[in-house]
């Protein structure tokens, strides 16, 4: 399924315990949602993807992404709601984010910049049980840097869609980044990214750090 239209991009922070710990964050009592502008989305096709090169460190966060196929109503199961899945990178300006956190400012500048929501092409969603049997991983320059499994989430996919659907709404062509496992780190100019679902490569690209001036 090629990406045509995205209505909303929802993301969840701190949804894997080891990742919350590596950034010295508390584990939240309820899912911590934020959103990105749709302009931040870009689909991988082996291309070079430009990221900010003059705003401090850019971190990669590999994540499992759900595509929503219809309007959420309470009681709906994820299998009825989701019609696709992909892997994505929630690129984050980590130094900017630390400053925003200190000031209590919104995260837009750290999480919502152009190309900050990288997505592989979507594949059919075959059910949560099948997905629990498959690890996703991120390789940079051929070395595995992150590996996760959706069964390790603090708030599982059903809890995420229930929370999001109830508080913010979920509808056709919304997507949901479900949080990153441990192993996030800094991007270096020219890094080659490979996102894998089990042994299948879903997407590849090269990161280009570029000054905005
Ligand atoms: Zn994230």
In a domain, 74, yes or no: yes
For 120-170, what is each residue's pLDDT tens digit?
A: 999 999 999 999 999 999 999 999 999 999 999 999 999 999 999 999 999
Q: Compute and round to an integer the Cα radius of gyration of the chain.
A: 16
**How far does the centroid of ligand 1 lie from the alpha carbon of residue 177, in Å?**
7
- Total domains in the fold of the chain: 1
Q: Where in 53-129 does DSSP place strands (E)?
A: 58-60, 62-68, 82-90, 92-93, 117-119
**How far does the centroid of ligand 1 lie from the alpha carbon of residue 11, in Å?**
7
In a domain, 3, yes or no: no
Taking all residues of the chain, what is their mean pLDDT, rounded to a whole number? 95
**How far does the centroid of ligand 1 lie from the alpha carbon of residue 109, in Å?**
14
Percent of the chain with pLDDT over 90: 90
Percent of the chain with pLDDT over 70: 99
**How far does the centroid of ligand 1 lie from the alpha carbon of residue 94, in Å?**
11
* Band of residue 198 on the pLDDT scale cut at 50, 70, 90: very high
Range in 19-33, 55-69, 168-182, 195-209 with the lowest mean pLDDT: 19-33
Return the pLDDT at 155: 96
Measured CA to CA, the distance from residue 88 to residue 171 in angstroms comes to: 20
Residue 152 sits in a domain whose CATH number is: 3.90.850.10
Return the pLDDT at 197: 98
- Residue 71 pLDDT greater than 90, yes or no: yes
Return the pLDDT at 82: 96
In a domain, 159, yes or no: yes
**How far does the centroid of ligand 1 lie from the alpha carbon of residue 85, in Å?**
16
Return the pLDDT at 117: 98
Sheet holding 143-148, edge to edge: 48-52, 200-210, 192-197, 136-140, 143-148
Q: For strand 143-148 and strand 58-60, is the pairing parallel, antiparallel, or unpaired?
A: unpaired
**How far does the centroid of ligand 1 lie from the alpha carbon of residue 41, in Å?**
14
Return the pLDDT at 101: 93
**How far does the centroid of ligand 1 lie from the alpha carbon of residue 184, in Å?**
9
Which domain, by its residues, includes 68? 9-210
**How far does the centroid of ligand 1 lie from the alpha carbon of residue 64, in Å?**
10
Please name every residue paired with 117 in a beta bridge, in sequence order, or none if there are none. Answer: 41, 90
In a domain, 114, yes or no: yes
In a domain, 31, yes or no: yes
Find the mean pLDDT for residues 110-122. Answer: 97
Find the mean pLDDT for residues 69-81. Answer: 96
Range in 11-20, 72-81, 108-117 with the lowest mean pLDDT: 11-20
In a domain, 2, yes or no: no
Return the pLDDT at 207: 98
* Band of residue 43 on the pLDDT scale cut at 50, 70, 90: very high
In a domain, 190, yes or no: yes
In a domain, 126, yes or no: yes
Return the pLDDT at 99: 96
Find the mean pLDDT for residues 2-22. Answer: 87
């Amino acid at each position: 399924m090629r990406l045509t239209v995205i209505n909303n991009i929802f993301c969840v922070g701190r949804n894997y315990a080891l990742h919350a710990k590596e950034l010295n964050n508390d584990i939240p009592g309820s899912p911590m949602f934020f959103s990105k502008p749709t302009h931040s989305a870009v689909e991988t096709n082996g291309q070079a993807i430009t990221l900010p090169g003059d705003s401090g460190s850019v971190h990669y966060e590999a994540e499992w992404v759900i595509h929503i196929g219809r309007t959420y109503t309470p009681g709906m199961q994820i299998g009825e709601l989701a019609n696709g899945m992909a892997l994505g990178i929630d690129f984050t300006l980590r130094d900017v984010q630390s400053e925003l956190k200190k000031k209590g400012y919104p995260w837009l500048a750290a999480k919502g910049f152009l190309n900050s929501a990288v997505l592989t092409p979507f594949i059919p969603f075959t059910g949560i049980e099948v997905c629990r049997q498959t690890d996703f991983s991120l390789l940079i320059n051929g070395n595995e840097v992150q590996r996760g499994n959706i069964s390790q989430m603090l708030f599982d996919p059903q809890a995420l869609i229930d929370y999001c659907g109830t508080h913010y709404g979920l509808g056709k062509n919304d997507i949901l980044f479900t949080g990153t496992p441990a192993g996030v780190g800094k991007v270096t100019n020219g890094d080659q990214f490979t996102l894998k679902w089990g042994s299948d490569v879903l997407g590849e690209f090269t990161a280009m750090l570029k000054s905005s001036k």
